[in-house]
Amino acid sequence: MQKVRKTNKIVNDFLSHLEGSTHHVELEDFDRLMVSEADKVQARMSKLDDFAATIRQEFASDYFSFMDIPDLIIKKNYPRKDYEECYLKVLNKVKLRYLAEKKRELPHRELASMVITDDDLVPLDMLDWVNKEVKDKMKDKDTVIAHFIEGCKKEVARLKAKGAFESEK
């Protein structure tokens, strides 16, 4: 049920991007929107790759400090929109994963009370792992949308063959 719920949410989010409030949608609208969504996903993946490469280059070791990230973002002049829509989400996931790993070492502490300090060095592998996880999720989302569109096309073809449409629209 959870998988069906997630699939339905992805499809509903996709459909919410359709323009206009008409009760019919042409298949070309789906194709256009799918291309637009694919472009957005590709751009976001590219930004994530560039961000990870920049962190690797700037820290030149196998670890980075969260406390140095704001300076890096300012230094590299990343747009605020990219930071809010892309980098912040990844950094928050890395932070949560790092704190979960840290909790293993300190089982007596509550996760909610744990914070990252200046002394904490986060492995770059953790950033790579989260990046891969985010990219996989985006690819899965694209796959769900592509299957939905393909199903819509098949249903339209079936209904056309059955003569259920009065016109081509």
pLDDT of residue 95: 92
Assessment of whether the complete model's pTM goes beyond 0.95: no
The answer to whether the CB of 145 falls within 8 A of the CB of 14 is yes
Mean pLDDT, rounded, of the chain: 84
Q: How far is CA 125 from the centre of its chain?
A: 19
- What is the mean predicted confidence (pLDDT) over 66-92? 88
In angstroms, the CA 28 to CA 5 distance is 26
**Average pLDDT of the residues in 73-88:** 87
State mean pLDDT over 72-89.
87
Whether the per-residue pLDDT at 133 is higher than 80: the answer is: yes
User: How confident is residue 145, by pLDDT bands cut at 50, 70 and 90?
Assistant: confident
The tens digit of pLDDT for each residue in 17-48 reads: 766 555 666 777 777 878 888 888 888 889 98
Which pLDDT value is given to residue 130? 92
Alpha-carbon gap, residue 86 to 83, rounded angstroms? 6
Report the pLDDT value the prediction gives residue 166, as an integer from 0 to 100: 61
pLDDT score, position 153: 83
Q: Which pLDDT score is estimated for 93?
A: 92
Beta strands 63-64 and 122-123, pairing class: antiparallel
